[in-house]
Amino acid sequence: MRENEVYTASNRAIYSWGFGQVGLQCVYFSFAQLMQIYTTPTGFALSPVLVSWVIVLVRAVDSFADPLFANWSDNFHSRWGRRKPFLLAGGICGAFFVMAVWWTNPGWTEPIKFAYLLFTAVMLCGAWGLYALAHGAMGYELTDDYHGRSRLMAIKGLFTGITAIALQWVHWLTMRPFFGGKVTGIRWVSIGLAAMVLLSTFAVLRFTSERFATINRNRIKLLPAIRITLRNRPFLLLLLMMLTQRLGTALFYGLLFYVNVYYVCQGNESLASKIAGITGTTSALLGLTVLPFIQRISRRIGKRHGVMLGAGALAASALLVPFCLTPKMPYLQIVLWAVLGPLTTVGQTLTEAIFPDICDIDELEGGLRREGMFVAVSSFLVKFEAALCILLVGYLIQFAGFQPGQMMQSPEAVLHLRWIAFTPYITCSLLALLFAWRFPITEKMMAEVRQKLDARHAAAKEAAASESAAVQVELNR
């Protein structure tokens, strides 16, 4: 690399790292499908209540494990690096448990099925956490370029989006007649998912290298590491923005199905499912269309303004939702989500691109590279919040007066469902916009940080070279 040139890894390394997202999506998908496949009569016929508790317990355990793994990874040293051993362990275990989670015997009693699912789901999510932590931290090292990090996250988003669209058809595939049943179908399909996990894992291991494998020689304990991480003001503001956004959207989307079925579609579940399918696919595809232009957008408006754009679009959609979810025009909501898809994709991608900048600021202030801890703290809070939302949605539905098993709900229950869905969405989206507005990192600030870090790294190399030369002189005497 020439003097004053900003480091960027090769395209092969960047795209191989992006391809690693395929394996991560396959592991996550296997967990996300537990409710749909385990609870149906054609699946494993396990009580939805028991499956819900499995999901909540697993997410809680997984969220607490993330900071432990992260601190271990940040302080870890081996001949293979800090992250690669964790990535390898997560990939191999993930591939195994992607298959193992579906080998419950439908004829077992409910307690045995519950125990088996709980154990395999905990192991699956543990593997998911290991893989995600190592993969995310390795990505932060691939470039020092402020706008190049936007391109990096766009490539990751491209692989994520394509894989997510393909995985939407897995449930349909498991029910094809040639499998002879959904249980047999998901077991065969899980073999293919496991193969993709292994393929993407070894692609990252083979073609992506670590730059900071030996940088942290001064170890830092877990609790001080968490405290230091949460004292980082840009990280804290970004985290608050993410948490408020996710809280509002998680509660809203958890209730949206019921609002669509019982208010917008007047009890027609088939129409509601059709609208949801069209909406999800359209939004995802339109979101993918902006990813090739993310770096150009980043240069044009800056990452900070891009994050504000995404937060502003979400707030605007929240304010429009009460008017777009209407039985007079059931398909109107598709237009809203279609417009929202590209804008939120810009915001989410540039939000991810800011995390490496935060790690640079942290290194300048503390002298350590702690990508793992930043990944883990954000992951911990997001997962813990998601687990709480799963339970909260159930209680909110009950509080609204929803009566299970009834094709039509009372006008009061439908009204309550609507406003219980709309109010947190609007409030949290506006709060997230406020946090995005106050976010301080700019391109100018990062140029100054980069200059100081480069000077520090150059001085450290010079000192190491001088020390090595002095040792050599002593040996030659």
**String of DSSP letters for 26-46:** HHHHHHHTHHHHHSSTTTT--
Return the pLDDT at 217: 53
| CATH number assigned to the domain comprising residue 272 | 1.20.1250.20
Regarding whether 391 and 355 lie in a shared domain, the answer is yes
* pLDDT (0 to 100) of residue 219: 64
| Per-residue model confidence (pLDDT) at position 94 | 93
For residue 24, give its domain range: 13-207
Assess if residue 138 is contained within a domain: yes
Q: 20, 197, 22, 200: which is closest to 96 by C-alpha?
A: 197
Query: What's the confidence (pLDDT) of residue 475?
Result: 66
pTM for the whole thing? Answer: 0.77
Q: Which two tokens stand for residue 228?
A: 């230091």
At 204 the pLDDT is 93
Total of domains in the chain: 2
- Block residue for tokens 């470039």: 143
| Three-point CA angle 379, 384, 389, nearest 5° | 125
Same domain, 67 and 89: yes
3-state secondary structure of 143: strand
Under 8 Å between Cβ of 193 and 24: no
The per-residue pLDDT for 177 is: 87
Contact 378, 239 (CB under 8 A): yes
Same domain, 318 and 180: no
pLDDT < 70 regions, the chain: 1-5, 35-36, 40, 212-220, 222, 404-407, 471-477
Q: Are residues 173 and 225 both part of a single domain?
A: no
Do residue 149 and residue 266 come from a single domain?
no
- Give the pLDDT of residue 308: 94
Residues 411 and 286 in one domain: yes
In a domain, 472, yes or no: no
Q: Does residue 215 lie in a domain region?
A: no
| 427 Cβ contact list (under 8 Å, min separation 6) | 248
The last residue of a domain, from among 163, 182, 207: 207
